[in-house]
Each structure stands twice: as C-alpha cells, then as structure tokens.
Amino acid sequence: MKKLFVYLKGYGRECVLGPLFKLLEASFELIIPLLVASIIDRGILDSDTGHIVRMVLLMALLGLIGLACAVTAQYFAAKTAIGFSSRLRHALMAHIQTLSYTELDTIGSSTLITRMTSDVNQVQSGTNMGLRLLLRSPFVVFGAMVMAFTIDFDCALIFAGVIAVLCVIVFAIMLVTIPMNKRVQGQLDSVTSATRENLGGVRVLRAFCKEEAEARKFEQRNRILVKLQLAVGRVTAAMNPLTYVAVNAAVILLIHAGAIRVDAGSLTQGEVVALYNYMSQILVELVKMASLIILLTKAWACGDRIQGILSISSSQRAGTEAIDKAGSVSFEDVSLHYKGAGAESLEHVSFSVRPGQTVGVIGGTGCGKTSLVNLIPRFYDATEGRVLIGGMDVRRIDEQQLRKAVAVVPQKAVLFKGTIRSNLLWGNESATEEELHEALSIAQALDVVSSKALHLDEPVEQGGRNFSGGQRQRLTIARALVKKPQVLILDDSASALDYATDASLRRAIRMMDHRPTTFIVSQRASSVLHADLIIVLDDGHVAGMGTHEELLAACPVYQEIYASQFDAPEKAKEVSANG
C-alpha cells in the first residue's frame, strides 16, 4: 500500500489542508463546553444577560466558521480521494496492458477485474474518510481529555481511565469478531456455492431425483450460517451496552468527584457541566473511530492487493527490430514449460515452413497444439530453442510489428461491444470498405452481415451475445483476415462451423492473392488432411510430421485419430457386434 502513495503526488497541499481544516473545526467544537460553563458560572449565577448573549453569539459564530472549515476539508478530501483512485485505475489499466500472457495466466482475469473495480473503490472511500476522520476522532477524544485537564486535574484522571477502558472494550470486541466474521463470510460463500452448483447441475440432479436431498443439504449449510451469525451477533451486541455502562459509570464518578471539589470551592457548577459535556463528546467520537478503523483496514488491504498487481512486471523483454520478410516460420528445438506447470507442454519441436504453405496441427486435448501456435506471435517465450519468423528470432522483433504480421483466430470466438465494423477494424484501423468485404467473403461471413438489418453497422453486444457461435466464429476469422497477415493461425476456429462451411473456408484461404502461411489447429482430421505439412502432437511431443499420406502410412497416433473419425471398417464391425 505504501508504494501507492506516489499516486498522491501533486495532492500534497490537499492532503495537509484537508485534515488541518478538519482539526480546526474540531477545535471549535471543543471550545463549546467552555462557553456553556461560562454562561452558567458568569451569566446565570451573576445574572449577566449581556454575557449570555455574547457567549451564545460566539457559539453560533464558531458553528459558522466550523461549517466553512468542514466544507473546505470535505472538498480537499474528496478531490484527493477521487484523484488518487482515478490515477490508480489508470495506472492499473496501463500496467495490465504491459503484462504478458504468462502473467495474465497466473493472475487470472477475474482477480484483475476485482482489483480495478471494487478494490479501487474501497481505497477511494478509505482515503476520503481517512483524510476526514483519521485525525479528527483521536483529536477530539484526546482534546476533550486535555480540556478536562485544563479544568481540573483529578477529574480529568477519570477521563483518562474511561478512555482506556473504552479502547479496551472496542478493540477487544473487534479483535474477537474479525475472525468470527471471516467464518460467517466463508459459510455464506458455501451457501452461495450450494445455490450456484444446484442451478448449474439442475439437469443431472433432477435426472437422479436429488431435489429433496439437495434441499436438505442446503438447509444444513443454511443452519450453520445462522448459528455462526448468531454467535458473532452475541459478541457484537455487547459493544453498545458495555460502552454505555463505562461512560455512565465515568459520569457518576465525575459528578461525585466534582461535587466534593465544588463543595470545597475548587470547582464551579458550570465546570462540572462542561466536564459532563466533554464526556458525551468522547463517546460519540469513539464510536465513529471504531467504524473508521474497520474501513481503513479494509482499504489498506485492498491497497496492498492493488500494489501486488502493480509490482508484477512482464517476464518478456521487448524486441526492437523490424521484420523484413516474414512468411516463413521455423521452430528450432523448441520446448515450452509454463510457469507453475508440472511438466513441459512442448518438448523439442523442430520444423520449418515456407511462405504461403499450410500447416495442420492435430492431436488430442491438452497435447500442446495451442501452445505450439502461441509461440509464433510470441504470446509466450520458448523456454528452450528458438522460434523464427522470416529467419528472425521473434524475441528480437518489435512486438507491434510482430503482432501485425501474425493474425490469430482463437478457439473462443469473442467479439467486442460496438458494431460489426468496429470489430473488423481491430485488424486494421484504416481498412477500406472493399478490404472488409473481401475479408468477410473469405471468412464465409458475408451472409452473417447481410442477414442483419444494419449490415456492417449492426451493433454487437458485449461478448457478441447477439450472434450465434458459428456467426461469431466467422466474424473473428474475418477480423484476422482484415490484417492481411503474413502468418494466419486458425486455432481450432472452425469447430462451430459445419463441415461444408469449414471446407469452403479452407478453399477460400488457399485462393487468396497474398496467401498467408497458414496454421490450422484442429481435432478433425478432415480439416488438416490437405495441408502441406501436418504436425501430429501427442502429450507435447511431435508424434509424426509429414503429409496426410505419409502419416497414414507411418504414424500410429495419426492412424488412430483418423480411424476414430473416418470409421475404419474393422472397428465398425466390433461395435455393431456389441449391439
């Protein structure tokens, strides 16, 4: 958290003036009981009406000045807090943009989103309240005590005593309840997850007639939650009565001690009233302070979490060189070991393709297909070996240039909020209408656009919800083609397309004028069998490499995949024999 204070730079004046004005206001409040005492001792006892009126006017004036001070303080506090949080958000967002895939994987997007939204908001309100109250409350509490000392030393000792007792009560209760509240939160999470899980598995649960069992299970968690809540409630419920008793006990002692001293002539009646008023102020401020402390600890923890993100730096060193001739791609003994993974995801992969060739990458789930293609645009750095584009190590190439030359169509077809056009322009801001049309045509997506009322300007909702899976997939392919990339990677991006569309798409890509070097990642043998080179992966190893015919003749893994999809005659027989 402390490191975040750099984002307060430029708000130094506000950070000082805000609390200062707050203290001024508090000082005025502390004067009031003295004025009341003076009204009683001089005004009432001596029947000096003029003095009473003067004192009352002074009170009103102090109130007015107090208001002015407070308004100033609130403004400075709000300005600082908002400026701080706004800069924090910017810094976070800018920082996240620099993180590489490895860091994004480790942190996870939902964490990042929480940091940027609720954590920053907590820090903002913590800063705001902190600037306003952090100094004020202790100041009033101790100020009241100091004022008491100026009135009467012995009576003030009672103040010192009760403040100590109150602090013990408040903090003891907080200390006890914080872990208890954590447990309540944990149990509430468990009730939430029971609900979520039940809704997610509704079909299976009903298929197994588990409705009643589920309701019983839920009720059990529900009951535990109530039990925990009541337990915390019992402790928290003691806070108000205990502080009340402590303060009133102090009042009794105070009046008693005051009486003895008034009787002896060392204290006046008005001063006793003043002492009593100071006692009331202490109680009010102490309650505020307790809730402020809770707020501040929360904000501090959020700040620490934000700092945690900002202190993570990209594990990739940026390249600087320009690409001269891309198109050819080669892997030289490349291995990839993801951070935190138990084993290597790719082991000693080597191959080389010429510009314009088509490469098929095939294999089962988790065999490393996506890992392999992700190394080409340098989403990850190879842990061993080199990846070369146009003969240059990708690590030497300027990132912007590299990503411009390589277009990826990811497995998950995601569009951004905006219009079809704004999504396509992601590939190239300055693409012309004809270029968009051409990309759509190759991606077999012209009918998607023409089926919409506003054509290219059809709005796209967040995540592209208003398009079907197949439509989204074709649009994401078009988006990649708008780049006119030298290397095109289709990462299992035809899975939602039917076979006919898939085939037309591959044909159209082959017919392109500036044919990109194309990588087709797929589970379907039919998608890759026309490729110039097919790489068969099995658990991170290259199990075979060559054309369809070569592999069918020599690679057992490929044979197995092909057989499972193309129905080798002997297997069909075996299955039907079972039926």
Partner 1 sequence: MAKTTFSRRATLRRVMRYIRPHLPRLLLSLALALVTVALTLYIPILVGRGVDSIVGPGQVDFESLTHTLLVIGLCTLLTAIAQWAQSHLNNRVTYDTVRDIRRDAFAHIQRLPLSYLDAHPTGDTVSRMISDVDTFADGLLMGFTQLFTGVMTIAGTLIFMLTLSVPITLVVVVVTPLSLVVANFIATRTHDMFVLQSKTRGEQTALIDEAIREQKLVKAFSREDEILAQFDEINDRLASCSLRAVFFSSLTNPCTRFVNSLVYAAVGLAGALAAVSGALTVGGLSSFLSYANQYTKPFNEISGVVTELQNALACAARIFELIDTPAQTPDPEDAQAIGGVCGEVSISDVSFSYAPEQKLIEDFSLRVSPGQRVAIVGPTGCGKTTMINLLMRFYDVRAGEIRIDGHETRSLRRSDLRKNIGMVLQDTWLSSGTIRENIAMGRPEATEAEIIAAAKAAHAHGFIRRLPDGYNTVIGENGGSLSQGQKQLLCIARVMLCLPPMLILDEATSSIDTRTELKIQDAFAKMMQGRTSFIVAHRLSTIRSADVILVMKDGRVIEQGTHEELLAGNGFYAELYRAQFDN
Q: What CA–CA distance (Å, rounded) separates 529 from 360?
A: 7
Select 99 or 456, whichever has its Cβ closest to partner 1.
Answer: 99
Q: Which amino acid is at 150?
A: T
> Which of the ranges 139-147, 161-169, 404-412, 432-440 carries the binding residues for partner 1, by CB under 8 A?
404-412
Nearest to 32 by CA among 272, 258, 274: 274
* Cα-only R_g, the chain: 36
Indicate whether 77 belongs to the interface with partner 1 (CB under 8 A).
yes
Say how many CA atoms lie within 13 Å of 252 toward its Cβ.
Answer: 6
- Which of 36, 372, 475, 481 is the binder for partner 1 (CB under 8 A)? 36
Which single residue is written with the structure tokens 């293609």? 373
Indicate whether 39 belongs to the interface with partner 1 (CB under 8 A).
yes
Indicate whether 97 belongs to the interface with partner 1 (CB under 8 A).
yes
Select 237 or 553, whichever has its Cβ closest to partner 1.
Answer: 237
Which single residue is written with the structure tokens 């401020």? 285
Q: Which amino acid is at 422?
A: S
Q: What CA–CA distance (Å, rounded) separates 262 from 268?
A: 6
Indicate whether 1 belongs to the interface with partner 1 (CB under 8 A).
no
Q: Which helix (H) or strand (E) holds 569?
A: helix 569-578
344 touches 350 (CB < 8 A): no
Task: Restricting to residues 285-324, name those near partner 1 by CB under 8 A.
Answer: none
Minimum Å gap between C-beta 429 and partner 1 is: 8
Task: Restricting to residues 405-434, name those near partner 1 by CB under 8 A.
Answer: 408, 410, 414, 416-417, 426-427
Minimum Å gap between C-beta 333 and partner 1 is: 25
- Which of 106, 198, 335, 547 is the binder for partner 1 (CB under 8 A)? 198
Q: What is the DSSP string of 276-309?
A: HHHHHHHHHHHHHHHHHHHHHHHHHHHHHHHHHH
Minimum Å gap between C-beta 364 and partner 1 is: 3
Indicate whether 197 belongs to the interface with partner 1 (CB under 8 A).
yes
Q: Which long-range contacts (CB under 8 A, 24 or more apart) does 174-179 make?
A: 174/290, 174/293, 174/294, 176/235, 177/232, 177/235, 177/236
Select 98 or 352, whichever has its Cβ closest to partner 1.
Answer: 98
- Starting from the edge strand earliest in sequence, which strands make up the sheet with 329-336, in order? 346-353, 329-336, 384-389, 392-393
Task: Restricting to residues 128-167, name those near partner 1 by CB under 8 A.
Answer: 128, 132
Select 233 or 355, whichever has its Cβ closest to partner 1.
Answer: 233
Total of residues contacting partner 1 (CB under 8 A): 167
- Which of 52, 172, 180, 310 is the binder for partner 1 (CB under 8 A)? 52
Select 307 or 559, whichever has its Cβ closest to partner 1.
Answer: 559
Q: What is the phi-psi region of residue 463: left when phi exceeds 0, alpha when psi lies from -120 to 50, beta otherwise?
A: left
- Which of 123, 163, 225, 329 is the binder for partner 1 (CB under 8 A)? 225
Task: Restricting to residues 463-482, name those near partner 1 by CB under 8 A.
Answer: 463, 468-470, 479
Tokens of 456: 């290219």
> Which of the ranges 138-146, 235-243, 332-340, 508-516 carries the binding residues for partner 1, by CB under 8 A?
235-243
Tokens of 140: 């009033």
Draw the binding track, 366-385, toward partner 1 (x: CB under 8 A; -: no contact).
xx---------x-x------
Task: Restricting to residues 238-277, name those near partner 1 by CB under 8 A.
Answer: 238, 240-242, 244-245, 248-249, 251-252, 255-256, 258-260, 262-265, 268-270, 272-273, 276-277
409 touches 490 (CB < 8 A): yes
Say how many CA atoms lie within 13 Å of 194 toward its Cβ.
Answer: 18
Q: What CA–CA distance (Å, rounded) separates 257 from 272?
A: 9
Draw the binding track, 506-535, toward partner 1 (x: CB under 8 A; -: no contact).
-----------------x--x--x------
- Which of 13, 208, 291, 507 is the binder for partner 1 (CB under 8 A)? 208
Select 109 or 350, whichever has its Cβ closest to partner 1.
Answer: 109
Indicate whether 578 belongs to the interface with partner 1 (CB under 8 A).
yes
Select 44 or 332, whichever has its Cβ closest to partner 1.
Answer: 44
- Tell me 42's DSSP state: I
Residue 30 burial (C-beta neighbours within 10 Å; 0-12, 13-18, 19+): middle
Secondary structure class of 1 (helix, strand, coil): coil
